[in-house]
A and B are shown apart, each in its own frame.
Chain A
């Protein structure tokens, strides 16, 4: 396995008595899309600020390409692209001027800069609006440019802090495609979001952070395996005769059986569902309604923290 691009080692950040990060550790490898989930104030932005050399950790260290991230290290910043939560672009400049400016700051100049600007504009789908002032853009277009400004210097590590806040579905898909493409090119990506479904659909590995602690960090299948799926169905009458045969289905636990309503948790929703249908057919019991819920991060988060992500 390759060396990690980013290695967070027991990072602690304290502001006086307040502990923002309490010993966080994880690795991100080249080409990996690492999701960081956590509610507001969990410590995600603080962690990203330390990684992007804007803040010093109180203890522990963040290593990027083997070098310790520090506010004093200006060269290391060339390897990092940061997409802040805010729309950190200039509304009075046009899209091309914004990209030119941020590229120049990282030492990209001349023909190379022009080439990269054109390429980035195409990648974020703004070529036809390149010369329009950003203040005339929709929220989604601004978000895409916000991403583009972090890519112009071709960083090896990309930090995305809630990159799709307030974005329309079309722009969100554009951003997802670009993020996946970058990961495919070997860029290591840390993606923080409120939106669990985004992280679930994009990231191969996920860390869940709460109150400054990393309470779970693993690949998505392993995290999801912690939780089962749910099958809910309704039959015409109370069917006590079903209780026992349902219990005997392997990997199934009956959560509730209230008259005609049945709710059961199962490790493998598909297999369990086939068994339920077969059982009902066998006993000639009519199925009035059926609902299934696959295991997801929302339920994992709820299970681990005792509250929903947006509480």
Chain B
């Protein structure tokens, strides 16, 4: 009861302190706002240094008349895309429409885009060394036009465009040549008889001349699909001046929520030092209160304020910046509570060390900024740090809070709940550790 009386009083003081409100609520919002508006679209997305080959696939497929009626349609564009995706160091991106592709190239956002036309499979199927067939071979490799394909190039990025085109050429050769050779030798077998076909096979034992894929032709095992992925182009999310809904807010909001949670250090420090300076702590000590009641009575409102701050920033993140709370929003509350607990412990530790308001401001600000820098909060995205620094950052409670938030916000489809729980446990551990240390160090009888 006495604890609650103290807590109510401090809560009232905190709510009437514009300095605390500015530090705890307005500043993080301003940080998120400024960075959200000024950062590029790649911020907050997984870095990938593989060569990106962008494709527009308009191919309608084609049923091979030689395979008989009722044969399924062949989709040669998919074969090419799979071959590309299976190639090391390359990632394939599908752009849904030709218009989007043209805009991306015109805007300099893609150096080159390979376009498969509607008749690509038809032309591919009809490619042949024989008379009457489509001949896609020419001096420089595969004549894309002959196969109803083409490359959109950004004239300002010709080098990059050439690299992408050459990669495409190699893949096309791997797809087109075995098909044409295989088809040709099938015809030879059909027209000249089994003996000649068999003789040719014996002359070229390292090759299966009727195999219609590169692996079959070269008698090599098929390539594994491991790691081969074809992604679809996602236009950068975000709309309006604030880029509402952009991926960056999934990183920025939790980062600055965590960073500013630890600014509680200043609020609690000022509260304690002010009590000492104005003599009210002496009056509290002269009242029928225990040391524990005084401390808990002071910490309880700070914890409540900190939790309210975290919840406020997440709500503001959703309402103002259009961030998503992921599929497990209730877990976010646990992370907020555990972060607040550790922030409160650290705050009490600083209050135990500082004697004046100036000391609180100097020690507190320094500590908060150093920890924010070390943990990765300050730069917004912890992934931007080198791997060894990411490991070192785990000495800070901030980093654990970011780990938990990342699981819930940046990986919403499949958050690792065990990792979230582990992070929360570590945060709570930090909080209890800091509180025990502060309990031993804090001297209330300075106020005699």
Contacts and interface: CB of A to CB of B under 8 A. Distances in A.
Nearest to B297: A105
A105 B288 contact: yes
Contacts of A106: 287-288
Interface string B8-41: 0100110011000000000000000000000000
Contact of A149 (B13, B278, B283): B283
Interface in B281-334: 282-290
Given A54-B448, A92-B13, A102 B287 contact: yes
Contact of B286 (A45, A52, A87, A104): A52
B13 to A, nearest CB: 5
Given A85-B279, A89-B280, A105-B5, A80 B13 contact: no
A97 interface: yes
B1 to A, nearest CB: 9
A92 B288 CA distance: 23
Given A77-B288, A104-B2, 6 more contacts: A74-B290, A77-B287, A86-B282, A88-B279, A93-B13, A106-B287
Interface of A: 45, 49, 52-55, 74-75, 77-78, 80, 82, 84-93, 97, 101-102, 104-107, 149
Nearest to B283: A88
A104 B297 CA distance: 14
A87 B279 contact: yes
Nearest to B10: A90
B279 A84 contact: yes
Given A93-B12, A93-B13, A54 B288 contact: no
9 contacts: A53-B286, A77-B288, A80-B286, A88-B278, A93-B12, A102-B287, A105-B6, A105-B287, A105-B289
Contact of A54 (B17, B282, B290): B282
Contacts of A101: 5, 9
Counting chain B CB atoms within 10 Å of each CB, which of A80, A82, A92, A97 scores highest?
A: A92
B288 A107 contact: yes
B13 A90 contact: yes
B445 interface: yes
A42 to B, nearest CB: 16
Contact of B282 (A84, A93, A104, A107): A84
B301 to A, nearest CB: 13
B361 to A, nearest CB: 19
A90 B284 CA distance: 12
Contact of A82 (B16, B278, B283, B445): B283
Q: Closest 5 A-B residue pairs measured CB to CB? A: A86-B279, A88-B279, A74-B288, A88-B283, A105-B287
Contacts of B16: 92
A78 B290 CA distance: 13
Contacts of A102: 283, 287
A102 B6 CA distance: 10
A54 B286 contact: yes
Contacts of A97: 9, 12
A78 B287 CA distance: 7
Contacts of B445: 54-55
A89 B281 CA distance: 10
Contacts of A86: 278-279, 282
A52 B279 CA distance: 14
Contact of A90 (B5, B9, B285, B288): B9
B278 A78 contact: no
Contacts of A89: 278, 280
A105 B280 contact: no
A97 B285 CA distance: 19
A90 B10 CA distance: 10
Nearest to B16: A92
A131 to B, nearest CB: 14
Interface string B241-274: 0000000000000000000000000000000000
A105 B284 contact: yes
B286 A77 contact: yes
Contacts of B17: 92
A225 B367 CA distance: 64
A117 B2 CA distance: 18
A74 B12 contact: no
Contacts of A82: 282-283, 286
Given A104-B5, A105-B5, A105-B289, A84 B13 contact: no
B283 A78 contact: no
Nearest to B15: A92
Contacts of B287: 77, 102, 105-106
B448 to A, nearest CB: 5
Contact of A88 (B9, B280, B288, B289): B280
Nearest to A55: B448
Contacts of B285: 54
A165 to B, nearest CB: 12
A149 to B, nearest CB: 7
Contacts of B5: 101, 104-105
Nearest to B287: A105
A78 B264 CA distance: 34
B2 A105 contact: yes
Contacts of B2: 104-105
A75 B287 CA distance: 9
B304 to A, nearest CB: 18
Contacts of A74: 288-290
Contact of B283 (A49, A84, A91): A84
A92 B12 CA distance: 9
Contacts of A80: 286
A87 B278 CA distance: 6
Interface in B153-201: none
Contacts of A92: 12-13, 16-17
B288 A78 contact: yes
A259 B286 CA distance: 61
A133 to B, nearest CB: 8
A87 B284 CA distance: 13
Contacts of B9: 90, 93, 97, 101
A95 B445 CA distance: 26
A85 B6 CA distance: 22
A77 B282 CA distance: 13
A90 B8 CA distance: 13
B355 to A, nearest CB: 16
Contacts of A55: 445, 448
B330 to A, nearest CB: 36
